[in-house]
Structure 1
Amino acid sequence: MNSSNKLSNQHNNSKFQTEISKFIASNQDEFAELVTFVDFAEKFTLGFIEINFSPDIDLLIAGLRQDSQCQGVQFVVLDFPDANLRFLRDELVQQLAKITQETNKKLVLLIRNLEKSIGVFGDYPPVLQDLNFVRDSYRQTIPHPLLFILPDYAISRLAKFAPDFWAWKSGLFRFKTTELTKNEAIAHTLNADTNIERIPTPEQQERIDLLHRLLMEYNPTGETPSRENLRNCCNILNELGKAYLSQRKSIKAREYLQKAAEIIQKFPDYSLQIEVFNQLGKSYQQQRQFDNAISYYQQALDIAEKQKNRHDIANSLFYLGNVSLDTRQLHQARNYYQQALKIEIEFGDRYECAGTYHQLGIVAQELREYDQARDYYQQALEIKIEFGDRYECAGTYAMLGLLAQAKENYAEARANLQTALEIYVEYQDEYMATVTREILESLPE
């Protein structure tokens, strides 16, 4: 190993040690209680550790392994990231058979990532049903201390849906999140450069998971958020709503958005209120409940006009245009879009213009004004390419494909639809990829 690598490793190790020290210092009493629990635990002893973020779990495990009172303990971390896991005990028995226990050391099992199978929604997750059902067999088959490391929401769901297993706990240790970890989570969610609707599905799911964990920081289960945390709570709930809307999970999205709408009444942030109302409108529009959608879009527009916020006025006009398009009120849709476009051009908001040009293209195509439609689509595509928004380009390529199909130019239709399909596959948007593939397959040779 060369000297520069050695220095880099030493620096990284020193930084990690500093982070461990800060984490333990922030949770001094809780850490001491956990160490005592580990010291006295014998055979099957059940404990739960509440930590909301993965980086802090790494710090805790490293801290335990380094602690002087734990030198007679062999900590083994067992990772269960499978969202479809059902029979945890069976998996634990298999993993135990592979562990070589160190001489004169007590084996303590640390369970990670079980929140993936516990989930956030729904009654009686299969893994918790089984956990409760086979509780008694744990004493015989897992004869070692067992510590589950879970975020707030997963512990709450385990206590609710596996109450018999939960009743056996001998310890519950709640650790506070470090400021560094919390700031990094905010940077990757609320302050992220890329809108959650425009990132590939796996990354999107990671961000959703981070948002749920961050929400627990500002609004722990069973507690009312403090006044200073209201804004952060509202922002997180709004982002979760947008995320679930992008996955076409309207009802789930609305649950978060309605909570955000309730909270926002408690502090004045009209721009955020307008955004929440517009997102609520989207949730109803996805379910084709157009009257409810229009009601929320109109409320958002009324607030924007009262505040004389031209940017928000343009957004609400755009959304009203979308509802009009969905309900086949094409001339009304065009009117809303043209009003929105005028404001976007006035403020030089070129990126927003792309979406409006795209929608105007759809209206023109529906009115069989094909040359006008093509012109709008090309303007939209030019801007999206300019801004490097590859995912949004897919929608416009798809519409250019459908436009060519309507004009019976099947070679051009196939080329544009194929480009759209490649982008959807790249971004792992299975729904749109399936729709595009079906259209391609229906084209005449």
Structure 2
Amino acid sequence: MLTSNSTKFKSDEQESYLRLKRDLSWREGFGILFVRCTPVQEKRIIEEIKQDINDKTIDVLKLDHSIDNLYDLIEEKVNDNPIDILVISGLEKSLALDDYIKRTLENPKKAYQREALASLLGHLNWQRERFRDDFNCCLVFTVRKYTLKYLVRRAPDFFDWRSGVIEFPVDRDIDLLQYYTPFKANIEQQKPQQISQDIVHSSDEYYDLLKKLLLLEYENDGDLQAIHDVVESNADKLNSSFAKILKQWLLKTCAELNPEEKEAIAGIVESLCLDIAEYNLGKSANNLEIAITGLETVLQLRPRENLSKEWAKTINYIGTVYSFRIVGDKADNLEKAIACYQQALTVRTFEAFPEKWAITQNNLGIAYDDRIKGEKAENLEDAIACYQQALTVYTFEAFPEKFAMT
């Protein structure tokens, strides 16, 4: 029986989800379906499908390491209990795609040779009839964009048996796993020249921490507690050396990407920097310095002439971090914060972005209220003027909580 619960999906994702739900609800017997989605979307899809299609038996097979025989794993699942729909996740891990990407970077010709292919691909290509004959269920592979492209090229016989491909919109996000391995290899070459000698930990420790944080930010949709748990347990590594490596990684990474991919990476790093800054806000100088370094690097990747809205958002965030900054002179930091907010307001106008304009006006008011330089009375007048401006948007009727806070 079908229900109609798709509230966990964004408006642009609901169409894809409803199509998937419709397909699986009416499908009987064997079939192969590919669903292109992000890890966050994958989790929601599985939860919702289990809840919405309650007249079918649904199970999940999670692949977490390289394998060479998918048939046996499916058979084991199916033999335990009758299954109508089997969702298979982690195919990129079973194919060891990170190693493949690295080989492609090092030697493109060799990467395409037959012996360089994962043995699982041969198994999928050669034994596809066994899947059809022996499994009376629909196999739903949740995959990333790059996994889908890889299968089309390297397992065409198996892929041609698909019943369909349903693509969930990625909202300018991309799979970091696609890029991490080659970028780490590129940065490895720079270590002797560009990383200073004051590093306490090994470079690999910093890279591993960076990878863990980036993937947490991406895969958990910015789960603040998950980020803060890692930050807390790695406080000794969150220092100036980590900030330098973050900057290096980001610049080198984005130098080889197209604009859309570059912006996606920049957005993830921006979110990570804010989460790091928010941990023990105002008490951890290192965290705030990492955030400033990361955000200022993101700003370099967002030229105002091409990405004015994103540029304004980032410079507004930089202003906020400077207002809490511990390192350096407090008065100078507040001046930098004020300058950032004023620059943001050249894009965030009342006419174009009224709510963003109000946010920045409120931030500017707080900075003027705290300002050390200049005449105190004038600073307070400027602060009051900013708050009054913000209240033209933050009315009691439209934003009661923000109205009260302003």
Give the TM-score normalised by the residue count of structure 2: 0.41
Higher relative contact order by CA 8 Å / sep ≥ 6: 1 or 2? 2
Instruction: Give the number of the structure whose residues are more often helix, by fraction.
Output: 1
Which protein is bigger by CA-based radius of gyration? 1
